């Protein structure tokens, strides 16, 4: 076994690898960019080396800097994790030339399986079934389009290099082929430095099932069962589970044998994954898609269900042992599957804003561990989540003796997950896991896209605004030390009359501003909510508006809140949690103050209630009267600018491209008009909601 291993990665996978190294008594070396100087993986490693500026190209993707860090710390081996250089044959080759063990397969296997075209040809020759598609590399756009027409629409465009669903495009109509090919090439070039594409037949309502393989350097190859990865969004896995409810023992054994042959065909060594696409209507008709020559994000579900001769499994440990030259001491018949495990990927994205990448500072954090739940994470309170790296922050995994138990435990764990300061998809995933099709195991790779809208709540619950108003009014907050001016406390008290209303204005990103009025009423607080600028009574009668009983709401039309006050009561408050009663229902939130307002969280969802100044907002809006502004939908970098000030554009015309966390977002003209302002250039770093351009309607220009 090695004495020192350098972990050439960051975030949750670096923390995960360091955990196993510590268990084995192996010294760990972390590397970090300037952006990660205070990151969790840096804190947990035995030693750490700064390898460059925040840009991944100059840090985590710099082979020379990584090898220098290994040499300076006496590392004998390098674990690449996943992402960055994990499937880079040049990196594996450079490690070998430097006398370092690369904890992964040989460079030849990475190179072969990293080229999806050669990989398909190789495994097909070994008897593994493959998806019908184009053959040969280096096809032009026209040749790809011709191959697609020959296969028949719809087709899937895929980069030959890389993975993770990046650059993949499902194309259903011939007229869109050339445009989709160009977009796929651009994304592939940006993600992998290689824009070679292939095209495959699209299988409607497919299931994505992969087989975990493990091979040593002595010719032994085994499989460790399958993982179902059909719950995806934009070709990115978000929920994975083991085993799959689709497979029977016969099909499982057949797919496992095919995966073993695929691994043998390329001389594989280490832990790897062979991915298959499976028609849901005929599980026996499975097709090889690709092989991931690294540890998978979803490896924990395999670790939790696999038993080897009655013992547990740590895949990172076996990666290390195999790389150190050890033989696998078990055969295929020693491996069994027990129970069920499901994993959910927590990503920095905002479901309420179309799942756009998000960012920010982690202000409050709680990650469940124990009672059948496990969280693999790279977060700590204070972590800055930016747009430079992958959006995945952590993984929540649950285990149970059967699938229904594992589902319940994972939903409970997601409800208990708190990441205030950075919008995440935790609440969305919890609702997805309760969807009837998911509960029934009736899955396919398009399910999430079809059902996503129904899993994202509309608007913000009233109790969220109520909690924010109580916190802002200081109800239940610890008393400030020293003397406090009684006239500065928002109690609503006034001389010789009933308490006045205290007005609060809030704005949640992506939502319209809301006005909340509060005033004390006995041991409770009266609460009045309405849209900012909505006509509400300035002095409703105590306990309700005239003609209505306390708590009775007036119907004010779709999208409008009632103008009658209701009562709320703070039940408990600590520096991090608040419980209130609103309309006789109790609600509990975690909360954290931010420079712009307050973050509130519940059941995996979170809301950033920002202070809103109606006067300032009105003046700001007047600055662009008669024009339409285009704002950055996410923090990121402008990669393409297609127009200049003065250009005439058509409605829907692509104007700019913003990239964040390896995701492209096209900014299009909202209508025909003239570009009258353009505030960015290619390479500009932009914040969320920052104004990028202004398109004045043609008749106004």
What DSSP designation does 596 have? T
Grade residue 347 by pLDDT with cuts at 50, 70 and 90. Answer: very high
CA distance linking residue 49 with residue 37, whole number of Å: 9
Q: Which residues lie below 8 Å from residue 258, measured CB to CB, with a gap of 6+?
A: 127, 128, 129, 211, 274, 276, 286, 288
CA distance linking residue 157 with residue 542, whole number of Å: 65
Task: For 512-574, list the strands marked E by DSSP.
Answer: 514-521, 524-531, 566-573
- β-pair type (636-641, 654-660): antiparallel
CA distance linking residue 701 with residue 696, whole number of Å: 6
CA distance linking residue 297 with residue 229, whole number of Å: 11
Q: Which residues lie below 8 Å from residue 77, measured CB to CB, with a gap of 6+?
A: 2, 4, 5, 6, 100, 101, 102, 103, 320, 323, 324
Per-residue pLDDT of 397-429, as tens digits, reads 999 999 999 999 999 999 999 999 999 999 999
* pLDDT at 554 (0 to 100): 35
Per-residue pLDDT of 578-602, as tens digits, reads 999 998 999 999 999 999 899 999 9
* pLDDT at 167 (0 to 100): 81
Per-residue pLDDT of 357-373, as tens digits, reads 899 999 999 999 999 99
Given a cut of 70, whether residue 497 has pLDDT beyond it is no
CA distance linking residue 360 with residue 357, whole number of Å: 11
- H or E element at residue 275: strand 270-279
Grade residue 683 by pLDDT with cuts at 50, 70 and 90. Answer: confident
What DSSP assignment string belongs to 478-507? PPPSS---GGGS-S---TTSSPPPEEEEEE
Report how far Cα 534 is from the mean position of its chain's Cα atoms: 36
Q: First and final CA of the chain: distance in angstroms?
A: 72
Q: Which residues lie below 8 Å from residue 65, measured CB to CB, with a gap of 6+?
A: 31, 51, 52, 58, 59
Given a cut of 50, whether residue 549 has pLDDT beyond it is no
Q: Which residues lie below 8 Å from residue 293, measured CB to CB, with a gap of 6+?
A: 86, 87, 104, 105, 109, 110, 113, 114, 268, 272
Lookup result for tokens 């973050």? 599
Grade residue 618 by pLDDT with cuts at 50, 70 and 90. Answer: low
When mean pLDDT is compared across 7-16, 391-400, 523-532, the lowest value belongs to 523-532
- β-pair type (77-79, 4-7): parallel
* pLDDT at 496 (0 to 100): 53
Report how far Cα 180 is from the mean position of its chain's Cα atoms: 24
Residue 650: Cβ within 10 Å count: 11
Grade residue 44 by pLDDT with cuts at 50, 70 and 90. Answer: very high
Tell me the CA distances in angstroms from 172 to 153, 154, 188, 440, 569, one per residue in order: 6, 4, 20, 29, 55
Grade residue 563 by pLDDT with cuts at 50, 70 and 90. Answer: low
What mean pLDDT value characterizes the chain? 88
Decide which of 50 and 650 is more confident. 50
* pLDDT at 620 (0 to 100): 58
Residues β-bridged to residue 698: none
For residue 659, give the nearest of 680, 628, 629 by alpha carbon: 680
* pLDDT at 8 (0 to 100): 98
CA distance linking residue 230 with residue 444, whole number of Å: 5
Grade residue 269 by pLDDT with cuts at 50, 70 and 90. Answer: very high
Per-residue pLDDT of 329-343, as tens digits, reads 999 999 999 999 999
Grade residue 610 by pLDDT with cuts at 50, 70 and 90. Answer: very high
Grade residue 544 by pLDDT with cuts at 50, 70 and 90. Answer: very low
Answer for the pair 505, 614: CB distance below 8 angstroms, yes or no. Answer: yes
Q: What does pTM read for this prediction? A: 0.84
Residues in the chain, total: 701
- β-pair type (585-594, 47-52): unpaired
* pLDDT at 219 (0 to 100): 95
CA distance linking residue 161 with residue 657, whole number of Å: 23
Tell me the CA distances in angstroms from 27 to 1, 8, 37, 458, one per residue in order: 11, 14, 20, 50
Backbone angles phi, psi at 522, to 5 degrees: 65, -130
Report how far Cα 471 is from the mean position of its chain's Cα atoms: 30
Decide which of 637 and 700 is more confident. 637
Tell me the CA distances in angstroms from 159 to 111, 195, 295, 488, one per residue in order: 14, 7, 20, 62
Answer for the pair 272, 202: CB distance below 8 angstroms, yes or no. Answer: no
CA distance linking residue 628 with residue 194, whole number of Å: 37
Mean local confidence (pLDDT), 78-106: 97
As to burial, measured by CB atoms within 10 angstroms (0-12 exposed, 13-18 middle, 19+ buried), residue 487 is exposed
Q: Both tokens of residue 234?
A: 């934009």
Grade residue 272 by pLDDT with cuts at 50, 70 and 90. Answer: very high
Grade residue 557 by pLDDT with cuts at 50, 70 and 90. Answer: very low
What DSSP designation does 326 have? P
Q: Both tokens of residue 454?
A: 């129904």
Mean local confidence (pLDDT), 178-200: 89
Given a cut of 60, whether residue 134 has pLDDT beyond it is yes
Which domains are delineated in the chain? 4-103 (3.40.50.20), 132-201 (3.30.1490.20), 211-229+248-455 (3.30.470.20), 462-476+500-614 (3.30.700), 624-697 (2.40.50.100)
* pLDDT at 478 (0 to 100): 47
CA distance linking residue 357 with residue 439, whole number of Å: 28
Q: Both tokens of residue 33?
A: 């960019």
As to burial, measured by CB atoms within 10 angstroms (0-12 exposed, 13-18 middle, 19+ buried), residue 138 is exposed
Q: Which residues lie below 8 Å from residue 144, measured CB to CB, with a gap of 6+?
A: 134, 157, 177, 181, 197, 198, 199
Decide which of 262 and 478 is more confident. 262
**What totals of helices (H) and strands (E) does the chain contain, helices first?**
17, 40
* pLDDT at 131 (0 to 100): 86
Q: Is the dihedral of CA 349, 350, 356, 362 positive or negative?
A: negative
Grade residue 90 by pLDDT with cuts at 50, 70 and 90. Answer: very high
Backbone angles phi, psi at 5, to 5 degrees: -130, 130
Q: Both tokens of residue 624?
A: 């662009």
CA distance linking residue 565 with residue 673, whole number of Å: 45
When mean pLDDT is compared across 319-323, 571-575, 614-618, 637-641, the lowest value belongs to 614-618
Lookup result for tokens 């402008």? 638
């Amino acid at each position: 076994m090695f004495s020192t291993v350098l972990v050439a990665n960051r975030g949750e996978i670096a923390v995960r690898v360091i955990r196993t190294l510590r268990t084995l008594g192996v010294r760990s070396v972390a590397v970090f960019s300037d952006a990660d100087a205070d990151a969790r993986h840096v804190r947990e490693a035995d030693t750490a080396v700064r390898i460059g500026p925040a840009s991944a190209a100059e840090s985590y993707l710099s082979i020379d800097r990584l090898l220098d860090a290994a040499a300076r710390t006496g590392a004998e081996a390098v674990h690449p994790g996943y992402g960055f250089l994990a499937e880079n044959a040049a990196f594996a080759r450079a490690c070998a030339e430097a006398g370092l063990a690369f904890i992964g397969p040989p460079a030849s296997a990475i190179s072969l399986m990293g080229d999806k075209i050669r990989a398909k040809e190789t495994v097909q020759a070994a008897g593994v079934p493959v998806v019908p598609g184009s053959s040969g590399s280096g096809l032009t756009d026209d040749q790809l389009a011709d191959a697609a027409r020959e296969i028949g629409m719809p087709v899937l465009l895929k980069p030959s290099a890389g993975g993770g669903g990046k650059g993949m495009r499902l194309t259903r109509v011939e007229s869109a082929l050339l445009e989709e090919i160009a977009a796929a090439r651009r994304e592939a070039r940006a993600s992998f430095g290689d824009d070679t594409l292939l095209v495959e037949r699209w299988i409607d309502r497919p299931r994505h099932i992969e087989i975990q393989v493990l091979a040593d350097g002595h010719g032994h190859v085994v499989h460790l069962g399958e993982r179902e990865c059909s719950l995806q969004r934009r070709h990115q896995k978000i929920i994975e589970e083991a085993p799959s409810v689709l497979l029977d023992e016969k099909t499982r054994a057949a797919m496992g044998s095919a995966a073993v042959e695929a691994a043998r065909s390329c001389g594989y060594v280490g832990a790897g994954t062979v991915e298959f696409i499976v028609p849901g209507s005929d599980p026996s008709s499975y097709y090889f898609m690709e092989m991931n020559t690294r540890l998978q994000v979803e490896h924990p579900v395999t670790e939790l269900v696999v038993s080897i001769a009655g013992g547990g499994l740590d895949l990172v440990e076996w990666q290390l042992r195999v790389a150190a030259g050890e033989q696998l001491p078990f055969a295929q018949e020693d491996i069994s599957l027990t129970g069920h495990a499901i994993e959910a990927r927590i990503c920095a994205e905002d479901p309420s804003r179309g799942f756009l990448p998000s960012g920010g500072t982690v202000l409050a954090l709680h990650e469940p561990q124990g009672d059948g739940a496990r969280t693999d994470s790279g977060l700590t309170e204070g972590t800055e989540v930016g747009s430079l790296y992958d959006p995945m922050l952590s993984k929540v995994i649950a285990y149970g003796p059967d699938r229904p138990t594992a589902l319940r435990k994972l939903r409970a764990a997601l409800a208990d997950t708190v990441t205030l300061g950075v919008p995440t998809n935790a609440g969305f995933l919890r609702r997805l896991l309760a969807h009837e099709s998911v509960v029934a195991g009736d899955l396919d790779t398009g399910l999430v896209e079809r059902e996503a809208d129904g899993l994202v709540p509309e608007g913000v619950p009233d109790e969220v605004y109520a909690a924010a108003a109580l916190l802002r009014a200081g109800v239940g907050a610890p008393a400030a030390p020293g003397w406090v001016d009684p006239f500065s406390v928002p109690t609503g008290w006034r001389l010789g009359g009933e308490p006045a209303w205290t007005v609060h204005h809030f704005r949640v990103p992506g939502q319209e501003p809301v006005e909340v009025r509060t005033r004390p009423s006995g041991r409770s607080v009266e609460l009045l909510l309405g849209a900012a600028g909505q006509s509400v009574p300035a002095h409703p009668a105590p306990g309700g508006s005239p003609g209505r009983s306390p708590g009775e709401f007036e119907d004010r039309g779709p999208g409008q809140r009632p103008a009658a006050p209701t009562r709320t009561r703070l039940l408990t408050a600590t520096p991090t949690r608040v419980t209130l009663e609103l309309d006789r229902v109790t609600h509990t939130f975690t909360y954290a103050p931010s420079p712009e307002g307050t973050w509130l969280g519940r059941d995996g969802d979170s809301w950033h209630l920002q202070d809103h100044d109606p006067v300032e907002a009105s003046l700001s809006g007047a600055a662009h009267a008669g024009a339409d502004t285009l704002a950055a939908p996410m923090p990121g970098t402008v990669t393409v600018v297609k127009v200049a000030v003065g250009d005439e554009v058509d409605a829907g015309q692509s104007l700019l491209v913003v990239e964040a966390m390896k995701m492209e977002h096209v900014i299009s003209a909202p209508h025909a008009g003239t570009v009258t302002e353009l505030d960015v250039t290619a390479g500009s770093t932009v914040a969320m909601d920052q104004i990028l351009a202004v398109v004045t309607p043609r008749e106004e220009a």
